Structure 1
Amino acid sequence: MSALLTKQPRAAFAELSMTNARELLRDGKTMFFILFFPLFFLGLFWFLAHTIDAESPQPVVAVTASSGSEAVVNELEEAGFTVSELPDGRTTDEATAIVSVEGSSATVLLDAEEEPQWRGLVDAVAGTGIAKADIATAYSDGRAVFDPLRSSLASIVMVSFLTLAMLGTSVPVVALRGKGTLRLLGTTPLRRATFIAAQTPSRFLLGIAQLALVVTVTAALGYLSPGAVPRLILTALLGLIMLFALGYLIGSRAGNAEATTTVVSLLIPVALMLSGSVIPLEVFPPQVAEVIGWLPTTVLADALAVDLVGDSSAANLPIAWMVMAGVAIAAALLATALFRWDQGERR
């Protein structure tokens, strides 16, 4: 008994972090949306990708003769493709897909008029040991092949993080204010910054789990290079910090949990549509597209795409990191300065 009486209570940050984690896990609706969104969008874009490709005609393949062409021909024949080896420098009118192998990389050129199936073709070429990230696929008229799943993976991570930061962070803080819980905490020596920071540990772990899920899928698809993982983790951590700071900023002043839920629920699909994976930014006027390109959510999606799916043209990583860090610092400072314990509190 004496040992219990003399035992010091845990620090406020640790106590609040543990309490917050328990409350978050008990909130079935919030946890459902946090875990449901990445799985839903992965399934949706996987379905779109395979449905679109399945409606195209089977390709007739020609493999340009090279040191690795024999292995590619054998792999394609085993996969059930009609394939022939094409002498270097020769052309053919019969083939609707031409595969060229250059060392550890390959190019798949598809007939622009026929637009044959390409997914199984790329899988078969990758079966020879060439990484999918090193297989360039395009149409003969210069257009790049659009892969809905690959182009959306970075946006899925961004939307998962955004859902966690908004529905899983802003709304619970606003709900505590509406219930009067924050008013009681405001009568204690607890500091605003400590309360805000204590919401983070459990949510960071959930964010890492969301990232791990998409990274696993990306690696299984062959788009992720192992050497890119450390840089990808840095980008993801900066993105999480930025979105959490924005979530805290919204939660620092709002007083109605239902209204906040409605607003952030609308914000999430809008952010997805403006990330470039659903609606190409090229459809917007140049000035509008430039503004959209600097939105924090779009910057994060573009930065993730660089290492997640090997899209080196998506973003300049150092600039993207600076933008995310700047937004995170500004939002965190504002959230701490504007935070109020009670709906009627005036500063």
Structure 2
Amino acid sequence: MSTMTRELIGLHRRELMRDRRYFWFALLFPFGMMGIFLLIGALVPKIEGGPDFATLVTPMALFLAVTSTALTVTSGSLAAMRAKGTLRLLGTTPVGRGRLLLTHMVVRIAMVVIQAIALLAIAIVAADLEPARIPALFGIILLGTAMFGGLGYLIGGRIDSPDAATNLCTIVQLVTLFLSGLAIPFAMLPDGVVKVLSLLPTTFFADLMLTQMPGATTQHPAWLSAAVVSGCAVAAIGAAIAWFKWDQGEGGNA
């Protein structure tokens, strides 16, 4: 790794942590929700035929970790750098645009990995997660990060206001969570609604994680969910590259 690349990674790390509102929310929100669901699972008696909240705790927390980092602290950061002219300026230096975005992504991926390690450690102790499931879950997490990261770079690459980009991604995060079957179990919804929601890419991602939860009910086979999430990741990344704006007022990809 070159000195320039290391310095860029350090720059992006400091930039990520500087905006404390979004950084701490993105970092801690998954752990807070995991604690709430663990408490619900402990207090609510298991009803035969009803939703098992214990199987939803780990995938829900991982879903929030992926979306918080790939969306919330990605899009606003890009919009802020473009608004300040940083993207345009660094694009004309030896840093180059490719290296700039690559190092930006590396920091986000590292954040997701750190969150995942901590969440999975908690899940092994408090949610009876089998350690043998961890390698598969890490692969699923990286696949989801690619899909949501493409969307985060697409939104951050087009919207000029950092706050607007961040707020939009927060809405997307929460809506997709509640429509994925993790926050509101599909067992509690009418069959017609479930059939529609089961077609969303985010439901396929949730399904992939549920395949690693003993006793969980999924809407699709694992191979189909993996194929859909992979295809959506490629499409989102392609759209982000095609429509990325490097400067304010730019009409399209430069």
Q: TM-score range by the shorter chain?
A: 0.7 to 0.9
What is the match of residue 8 of structure 2?
Answer: 16
Tell me if the contact between 2:88 and 2:247 (Cα under 8 Å) persists in the aligned partners.
Answer: yes
What is the match of residue 262 of structure 1?
Answer: 167
CA-to-aligned-CA distance 1:281-337 (integer Å, 9 cap, x gap)? 355565543332232322222211221x22464242222222122111111122112
The higher radius of gyration belongs to 1
Question: Residues of 2 paired with 1:330 and 1:191: CA distance?
Answer: 24
Question: Residues of 2 paired with 1:238 and 1:262: CA distance?
Answer: 24
CA-to-aligned-CA distance 1:93-134 (integer Å, 9 cap, x gap)? xxxxxxxxxxxxxxxxxxxxxxxxx6xxxxxxxxxxxxxxxx
Choose which of 157, 166, 177 in structure 2 pairs with 1:272. Answer: 177
Alignment root-mean-square deviation, CA: 2.4
- Given the superposition, is the C-alpha separation of residues 49 and 283 from structure 1 closer, same or farther in structure 2, using an over 3 Å criterion? closer
Q: Which amino acid aligns with 2:101?
A: I
Q: Note the C-alpha offset of 1:179.
A: 1.7
Tell me if the contact between 1:253 and 1:340 (Cα under 8 Å) persists in the aligned partners.
Answer: yes
CA-to-aligned-CA distance 1:150-176 (integer Å, 9 cap, x gap)? 323212211121011111111111111
* 3-state SS in 1 of match to 2:183: coil
Q: Note the C-alpha offset of 1:229.
A: 2.1
What is the match of residue 205 of structure 2?
Answer: 300
Choose which of 31, 34, 37 in structure 2 pairs with 1:39. Answer: 31
Choose which of 96, 102, 106 in structure 2 pairs with 1:201. Answer: 106
Question: Residues of 1 paired with 2:12 and 2:104: CA distance?
Answer: 6
CA-to-aligned-CA distance 1:157-208 (integer Å, 9 cap, x gap)? 1112101111111111111112222222233365544332221112112111
Question: Residues of 2 paired with 1:191 and 1:333: CA distance?
Answer: 19
Unaligned runs of 5+ in 2: none
- Given the superposition, is the C-alpha separation of residues 52 and 284 from structure 1 closer, same or farther in structure 2, using an over 3 Å criterion? closer
What is the match of residue 219 of structure 1?
Answer: 124
What is the match of residue 69 of structure 2?
Answer: 164
CA-to-aligned-CA distance 1:22-62 (integer Å, 9 cap, x gap)? 22133322221122211210122123223334xxxxxxxxx
| 1:280-299 alignment, distance < 5 Å | 280-281=185-186, 286=191, 288-299=193-204
Question: Residues of 1 paired with 2:97 and 2:215: CA distance?
Answer: 40
Q: Which moved more, 1:248-257 or 1:152-161?
A: 152-161
Q: Note the C-alpha offset of 1:222.
A: 5.3
- Given the superposition, is the C-alpha separation of residues 14 and 294 from structure 1 closer, same or farther in structure 2, using an over 3 Å criterion? farther
| Structure with more relative contact order (C-alpha pairs < 8 Å, separation 6 or more) | 2
* Larger proportion of helix: 2
What is the match of residue 114 of structure 1?
Answer: none
* 3-state SS in 1 of match to 2:3: coil
Q: Note the C-alpha offset of 1:221.
A: 3.2
Tell me if the contact between 1:41 and 1:156 (Cα under 8 Å) persists in the aligned partners.
Answer: yes
Tell me if the contact between 1:253 and 1:339 (Cα under 8 Å) persists in the aligned partners.
Answer: yes
Tell me if the contact between 1:151 and 1:277 (Cα under 8 Å) persists in the aligned partners.
Answer: yes
- Given the superposition, is the C-alpha separation of residues 192 and 320 from structure 1 closer, same or farther in structure 2, using an over 3 Å criterion? farther
Q: Which amino acid aligns with 2:3?
A: R
- Given the superposition, is the C-alpha separation of residues 195 and 274 from structure 1 closer, same or farther in structure 2, using an over 3 Å criterion? same
Question: Residues of 2 paired with 1:186 and 1:288: CA distance?
Answer: 47
What is the match of residue 241 of structure 2?
Answer: 336
1:51 paired to 2:43: yes
